[in-house]
Amino acid sequence: MSKTAEAISVAKAKGESVLVGYFPAGYPDIQSSVDACVAICEAGADVLELGVPYSDPVMDGLVIQEATEEALANGFKLRELFPIIEAITARVSTPVLVMSYWNPILSFGLEKFAKELKASGAAGLITPDLIPDEAKDWIAISEELKLDRVFLATPSSSPERLEQAAKSSRGFVYAVSTMGITGAREDLDKAARQVVSGVNLSETGTPVCVGIGVSTGDQVAEINGYADGAIVGSALIKAYQHGGLNELTNCVTDLKAGSTK
């Protein structure tokens, strides 16, 4: 079992809601992002999704866009990702999945990126704009290095595509709750349940976590009723912006507990 899937399994066995927490690397600066990520993990997140700031974040909503733009403006470079991961994994045992668009990885060099990812202590990679059909090289090297790879499943995916995402992913499948960009929404699309059901029909046993628009403890609890976990990003960044590490920690605690305080 992958490190990510194991963390999900352990939390579920305890009867807890599974929470995947997102935060951008280098936001607002290198050390602050490390401290924020450690706080997210220590407050109870089961998996950390560490975002790579990118100049063309086609799936990201305004909150994440502005945060990653600030990180880039403050000088973040992709090579700094690996020391950030090392600093986080030296302090917590929570699985760290890097979320990155594919172009920065190609520019860096896939093999070099994968090997540095492994050496830094990361569990694997989430690739929002890479489909399994075009991921032959990544699948091969992730198998070699035993890195998790998370592909997206969307409301518009055919049954065949959902099955392919399930079979190609390791760690979990990222079920997109609604078509569009990330950001907190009051209501999650019912399509999320259909995506999860479609992935589960593949009978691969790959966990399914739901993201895009998840922002409250009630939503986290609801999602955990039909999926294997909930992914939250914008709400965590907002909490950090409003009240630093203290409010960020409280936000994670409330999300994990299913509270809307």
In angstroms, the first-to-last Cα distance of the chain is 35
In this model, does residue 157 exceed pLDDT 50?
yes
φ, ψ at 258 (rounded to 5°)? 80, 25
pLDDT at 179: 45
In this model, does residue 187 exceed pLDDT 60?
no
Residue 128: is the preceding peptide bond cis (ω within 30°)? no
pLDDT at 215: 86
Name the β-bridge partners of 97. 49, 124
What is the C-alpha separation between 180 and 192, in angstroms, rounded? Answer: 13
Are the C-beta atoms of 137 and 116 separated by less than 8 Å? Answer: no
DSSP symbols for 88-122: HHTT--S-EEEE--HHHHHHH-HHHHHHHHHHHT-
pLDDT at 139: 98
- Is 10 inside a domain boundary? no
pLDDT at 260: 45
The number of distinct structural domains making up the chain is 1
- Is 13 inside a domain boundary? no
- Angle (CA) 1 193 122, round 5°: 30
Question: Backbone dihedral region of 244: left (phi > 0), alpha (psi from -120 to 50 degrees) or beta?
Answer: left
In this model, does residue 39 exceed pLDDT 80?
yes
In this model, does residue 110 exceed pLDDT 80?
yes
What is the C-alpha separation between 258 and 261, in angstroms, rounded? Answer: 9
The pLDDT confidence band at residue 48, using thresholds 50, 70 and 90, is: very high
In this model, does residue 178 exceed pLDDT 60?
yes
Q: What CATH number is given to the structural domain containing 82?
A: 3.20.20.70
Question: What token pair was written down for 73?
Answer: 């403006």
Name the β-bridge partners of 149. 125, 170
Are the C-beta atoms of 118 and 143 separated by less than 8 Å? Answer: no
Lowest mean pLDDT among 35-44, 109-118, 206-215, 232-241: 206-215
What is the C-alpha separation between 208 and 210, in angstroms, rounded? Answer: 7
What is the C-alpha separation between 201 and 195, in angstroms, rounded? Answer: 10
- Is 171 inside a domain boundary? yes
Total length of the chain: 261
Query: 252 or 66: which carries more pLDDT confidence?
Result: 252
The residues that are catalytic are 49, 60
pLDDT at 192: 82
**Structural element, H or E, at residue 208:** strand 208-211
- Is 11 inside a domain boundary? no
Range of the domain at 76: 18-257
- Is 6 inside a domain boundary? no
The pLDDT confidence band at residue 25, using thresholds 50, 70 and 90, is: very high
The pLDDT confidence band at residue 106, using thresholds 50, 70 and 90, is: very high
The pLDDT confidence band at residue 59, using thresholds 50, 70 and 90, is: low
What contacts 37, CB < 8 A, 6 or more positions away? Answer: 23, 48, 50, 84, 88, 96
The pLDDT confidence band at residue 173, using thresholds 50, 70 and 90, is: very high
pLDDT at 261: 41
- Is 135 inside a domain boundary? yes
Residue 160 CA, chain-centre distance (Å), reads 24
- Is 42 inside a domain boundary? yes
Are the C-beta atoms of 152 and 132 separated by less than 8 Å? Answer: no
Predicted model pTM: 0.93
- Is 5 inside a domain boundary? no
